[in-house]
Amino acid sequence: MQLYLKYLAFIVYIALCVAVGIIITLITPKQCISRKCMQKSNLVLQDMDLSVKPCDNFYQYICGNYVGLGEKRGKSITEAIQKKQIRLLSSYLELPSKKSDDRVLRIIKTVYQSCLDTEQIEEEGVQPIADTIRLVGGFPLVEGKYWNTLITDRPWSLDVGEYKARYAGFQGGIIFESTVRRYEVDDKYYIHIKPPDSLDFTDAVFRAYYTYVKNITSILCTLNKKYLAPGEKEIEDTVQFIKELYQIERHRAGCKVTYRLEELEDFSMEFPFLGLKNYLTQMLAYVKLPKRIVVTAESKAFFTKVKNIMARTD
C-alpha cells in the first residue's frame, strides 16, 4: 500500500511539474525571432524617440520619430515592408541574366529591364510589339486578310498559336486549357484537357474591350506603316466573336469539375480544329504521346459550340 502511494505521489509530482511548465510557457513573452517579426520590430524602433524618458512623455517616446519617417515611407509598417520587398525584387530583376536562371525568370528579367531602358524604347519604337505579334501568330485586324501568308515557318492554327503563346511567356488557354496531373479514378497521371473557366463579362466590359481594340489598332497603324487600319465592322465582328466564345455555358470557377477518360485519337478526330495531337507533340517533345487523355464531362458540348462559331467566322 505504501509503495502504491509513493508511485501515486510521484505521478502527481510529475503532472504538477508539467502543468507549471506549460503555465510558465504561456505567460512568458515570446521572443521575436522570425524575419518578419524582426523587420516589424526594427520599424517600430525607428518610430520611437529614445532620447525622451517614457515617464516624462510616453507618446513622444513611442511615436516621436513617426511623423518624419511616416512621410517618407507611407502610413503603416505593413506598407513600409511591402515597399522594401518591392525595392529588393526590383534590384534582383535588374541583375543580368545568368545561364543558371530558369527560362521564365530570364523572360521576366528581359521584359522588366526593357521597360527601364527608355533610350532603347525610343529607338525601337513599336517594332518589339510587332515582332511579338508575329511571334504568337499575327494580328489579322491590322495585317489584313493575307495575315496568315506572312508567317514564314508554318501557317497559323489553333494548336500552333497556343503553343507559341505559351512558349513566348503568355498565358494562353483561350479555347482550351491543358495540364498534367493525377486522375483520381485510377491514381495515374494524365493530360487533362478542359474548357477555360467561365468569366462573367458584362456588356460594359465588352464595350470597353471594343474601345481598347479600336485604340490599340489605331496606335499600331500610326506607328507602323505596314499595318492596315481596320474598319468599324471588322472590329465589331472581332469583339462579337470573343463575346460569343465567352458566353458559351461552361464550368464556373470554384465549382467541382467531373472528369472522364477519352481516347486521344477519337477526341482529335471529332475536334480537329483544336490540333491536340500536334500541340501535345510540341509541348511534350521528349515524351511518348499518350493514347488517352482526361477531359471534363462538358468538353464535347463546349468544343462543339466553339467549332460552330469558328465555322461561320472568317
Query: What is 256-276 written as a DSSP string?
Result: ---EEEEEHHHHHHH-GGG-H
Q: How far apart are the first and last CA of the chain?
A: 99
User: Given this model, what pLDDT does residue 3 score?
Assistant: 53
Please count the other Cβ atoms lying within 10 Å of the Cβ belonging to residue 217.
20
Vertex 234, ends 229 and 238: CA angle to 5°? Answer: 120
Distance CA 66, CA 154 (A): 62
- CB contact at 8 A, 257 and 198: no
Residue 108: phi and psi, rounded to 5, are -60, -45
> What are the pLDDT digits (tens) for 184-205?
778 778 888 888 877 777 888 8
Residue with cell 503563346: 165
> Among 49-58, 142-151, 174-183, which stretch is predicted with the lowest mean pLDDT?
142-151
* Alpha-helix residue ranges (DSSP H) falling in the chain: 2-27, 35-47, 58-63, 66-73, 77-93, 103-116, 118-124, 127-135, 140-143, 158-167, 203-223, 232-246, 264-270, 276-283, 299-311
Q: Could you read off the pLDDT of 91-131 as tens digits, one per residue?
A: 888 888 888 888 888 888 888 888 888 888 888 877 888 78
Q: Where are the domains of the chain?
A: 1-30, 42-93, 97-124
Please tell me the distance from the alpha carbon of residue 4 to that of residue 14, in angstroms, as a whole number.
Answer: 15
Q: Please, what is the angle between helix 299-311 and helix 232-246, to 10°?
A: 170
